[in-house]
Structure 1
Amino acid sequence: MSYSPPSQVIARQLEYLEGKHILLAGKLEDTFAGELCNSAASVSIFTTNLAFANQMSKYSLITTQFSDCYHKRSNVDVVILYWPKVKAEAAFLLTMLMAALGKGTEIIVVGENLSGVRSISKMFAPYGKVTKFDTARRCSFYWGQCTKEPIPFKIDDWFKSYVMLLGKQRLTIRSLPGVFSYGELDVGSQLLLDTLPALKGNVLDFGCGAGVIGCAIKLLYPNIKITMVDISSLAVASATETLRFNNLNGDVFASDVYSAIKTKFNHIISNPPFHTGLKVHYTTTETFLKQTPSYLFKNGALTIVANSFLHYIFFIKGAFNHCDIPAKNNKFTIYHAIKKA
């Protein structure tokens, strides 16, 4: 079976991991955890990605926890942290895991060299020392141990805020590390908000991130019913917090594309994801676009923003038989389509 480069590097150290109680966390992309079950005393997973959690739930020997905050449920000797794409998310996960697992816990950190994994040496200093033991597949493998008492972890300390203006109204966005729109409003979302059609009824914000679009819509159209979904538990926590902080009402939950959605909408709006880690990847958005008509009422509409180099217009035309472009700039394009009889 083909594993990701970080997993291939870990596989070179299987002898050391034999008989250990292992927790995997971070940027998990393959089923290497199943391989570890052959030699480890136990294997558990903490993930913030619903699709990965669903994939690994099929392994009866692996305990998988999908959440925005890790809760220790079993003995853990070693935590293997797959370095995430955002340094702030790595710090968030490291602080969370060390606080839960405590002094004496061993840690293995592995990641692609271009992702900034070397930052772990400085980042781990408050807990102990890490040493690079292996380099292969353009990845680095670090080992260390928590020798100092970790500080308590409080998720509220990790929310970052910024204010955006919607006419004369103000909206405060609250986001956790690793969530889209963390710390600032992206240009694509701003273009989408500037060109929103008139909205009514039930509206879905797909891939909501920190809740920028969904919360802005609720502020501008108080009478609509807003639903926000994302595959990330950190995004769900962020969008929920953005609603609460601004005294707005809405539904927020995790969904792998439409897996958890049981209703239809008058409008589906999105700034959909198109990349994972360091590589371009937009299969999820293609699936989303193809399935969207099934989740719209008659005359319901889809409005998305996307980087102009992504040819989503072909998928939208395939699903709706037409596609309009209400606005575009030198980087982003707005696509709009209506479900007809």
Structure 2
Amino acid sequence: MDTRLFPTPAGVDPHDPILSLPKVSLHDHLDGGLRPATIVELAAEAGHELPTTDPEALRAWFRDSAESGDLVRYLETFEHTVAVMQTAVALTRVAREWVCDQVADGVFLAEARWAPEQHLREGLDMDEAVAAVQRGLEEGVALAADNGRVIRVGQLITAMRHQDNSLAVAELALHWREHGAVGFDIAGPEEGFPPSAHLTAFDLLHRECFPVTIHAGEADGRESILEAVQVCHAQRLGHGARIVEDMDVVDGEGTLGNLAAWVLDQQVPLELCPSSNVQTGAARSIAEHPITGLKDLGFHVTVNPDNRLMSATSISREMRLLVDEAGWDLGDLELATVNALSSSFTPYDVRDRFIDEILIPGFDRVEL
């Protein structure tokens, strides 16, 4: 492949066999995955001031800010990415490059998570913003096909939980359901902004049989997860790492609370993001991240990058960290990928075909 179009992900050895494994990305924010050089160019066009205009120095600034432990500084990183994503041309470019970066990471199925209401400062309405992103995603898929790679992408239309616009965003997602929108999410500050505050939107989506994932169990704990799955009809949990607070398990032995038992028994997918969780304090290290214990207990875990730019990561890097620091093997990586594929908001016949045509043959070809 042309490495200018499909650059090797940051932090990954280009010869790492994990890079060639087929992958599924469920929790992958569009505004958290921009290329630094693109930010510099778009900022110049928009007249937006950046901390630095050197792409590599900017990449380091995003990573260092996300790792600073300072929430204000962490949130500032998104002020810069969102600021340069305010025109149709910029949104299309970012979405196109996002797909190409997925392809370079070995991803064959990806869901682009983003909030249209954050991209209206220069006169776009939400429908125009979604159309611009859809153009970019389709252009990226076409570029991948021209380079002999198959990838399927969809939009996760996201509302912000600290705003009161969720019903309009849900209606927008339904409007686009036949044209690229595959699911709905709420994001933003979790503590103090429960998902039940958006119940009107979730009830509408539930009546319309439209898939829902909800950020829960990252910055807030048991009650956030409980509301997401039992009140707001979520089919998946964005993060969900703090489900461990509803269990008392040591070395695989112990008891689960009612909620944890429900999540396990119903195989509610957990969109876990190890590096991001370490940055935000939801986990102390990759080695101690709940994902490994949850996997061993049989929870439906998946591996995701969350924000590729802020965490200087990719799914390949997350997998390599889990192998090197948490003792995962090829079978564990395959299990998490099968989990992700089976819980993606993609039609069953497509998922079934991808297992036979892409996933199983891809893992059979690789040795760690």
TM superposition score category, shorter chain reference: 0.3 to 0.5
| Higher gyration radius (CA) | 1
Going by fraction, where is helix more abundant, 1 or 2? 2
The TM-score, its normalising length taken from structure 2, stands at: 0.31
Higher relative contact order (CA 8 A, sep 6+): 2
The TM-score, its normalising length taken from structure 1, stands at: 0.33
